[in-house]
Amino acid sequence: MPLNIQQAKVVQQWPYERPLLQVRCEPSGRYAFASSEDRAILRWDLNSGEKVPLRAHDSWVFAFAISPDGSQCLSGGGDGELIRWPLTGDQPARSIAAHQGWIRAIAVQPQGSLVATAGNDRVVRLWRCDSGELQGELTGHEKHVYSLLWHPTNGELLSGDLGGKIRVWNIADKSLVRTIEATALFAYDQGQRVDFGGVRTMAWSLDSTQLLAGGLHKASNPLGAVHEPIVLRIQYADGTLVKSHVANGITGGIAVRVMSLADGTIMAASGGGSGGWLLFWNADADATIHQFQLPNLVRDADLHPDGIRVVTTHSDSHLRVTALGS
């Protein structure tokens, strides 16, 4: 199936008993791991639609990561537990009390030897993938850490926080290399007295020279969910802003996941008061080149390994698969 965003359509959907939260596909493309508001993780077979519940967390699961070899799924919840699951089976292989409060992000090193976790305690921790042994802590964030991203080749780790700060870490000596400003993603509402926004998602351009950072802007009424999705495209070498990608007409949305497609198109999943959307930009455009509306508010999304299908979780308790082509 060739990639053609103009022909996007929902090709599969399966219900569950409770609203769904996060989702990640494993490398073979057979399974998607999705979390639910009943604290379960559902291992969904994308071929048959069958699902197996995995239960060990005492709270909602806010973060997933899959090991590069596809042998394990890592989950992090509001209980602060980092749990390792085998690809098949229904019992956890290991559970670690990793953080005080929510774990919001997990990222596995491309080489697969380390896993990074972060959350509401403002600390980034590094763990050995094989043994679960703590390898170090990275401190300095002043606000909750929402997202993590490894550089594909140079070993650096990026962590993005509520305040729109992206810290770049040298993992070899656990030092801070620099801070990239993504302040357009942060708002403080004086009347409501709330910090709002943050670096909710990060990804790389196809050649890894540019960083994509997503979230929201124009937060004129944060608690009323009046804000719009945005993706910043940043030159990684010097941290300069190349482009602000916006979506006109979506006045109640937030970019919950940003990804690069095989042809270089930038795709973001947006959820909020304006419903659920897949948004698309090319490298030169400020505004979207295509917007595909999904049947319900999106909580999270992941690109299937085939590069054509997108798996999304929704507030109406459905897992959906959208094909970006016919």
pLDDT digits (tens, 9 = 90+) for 17-43: 999 999 999 999 999 999 999 999 999
Residue pLDDT, tens place only, 156-193: 999 999 999 999 999 999 999 999 999 999 988 777 78
Q: Is residue 298's pLDDT more than 90?
A: yes
Give per-residue pLDDT as tens, 69-122: 899 999 999 999 999 999 998 999 999 999 999 999 999 999 879 999 999 999
Homologous superfamily, domain 7-324? YVTN repeat-like/Quinoprotein amine dehydrogenase (2.130.10.10)
Q: CB atoms < 10 A from the CB of 303, how many?
A: 20
| pLDDT higher than 80, residue 223 | no
Q: Six-digit token pair at 270?
A: 């947006």
Q: How confident is the model at residue 51 (pLDDT cuts 50, 70, 90)?
A: very high
Instruction: Give the distance from CA 272 to its chain's centroid.
Output: 16
**Residue 248 scores a pLDDT above 90:** no
Q: How many helices (H) and strands (E) does the chain have?
A: 0, 30
- Determine the average pLDDT of the residues in 194-221: 94
Q: In this model, does residue 1 exceed pLDDT 90?
A: no
Nearest partner of 64 among 97, 42, 89, 47, judged by Cα? 42
Where are any strands of DSSP class E within 17-87? 20-25, 31-36, 41-45, 51-54, 61-66, 72-77, 81-86
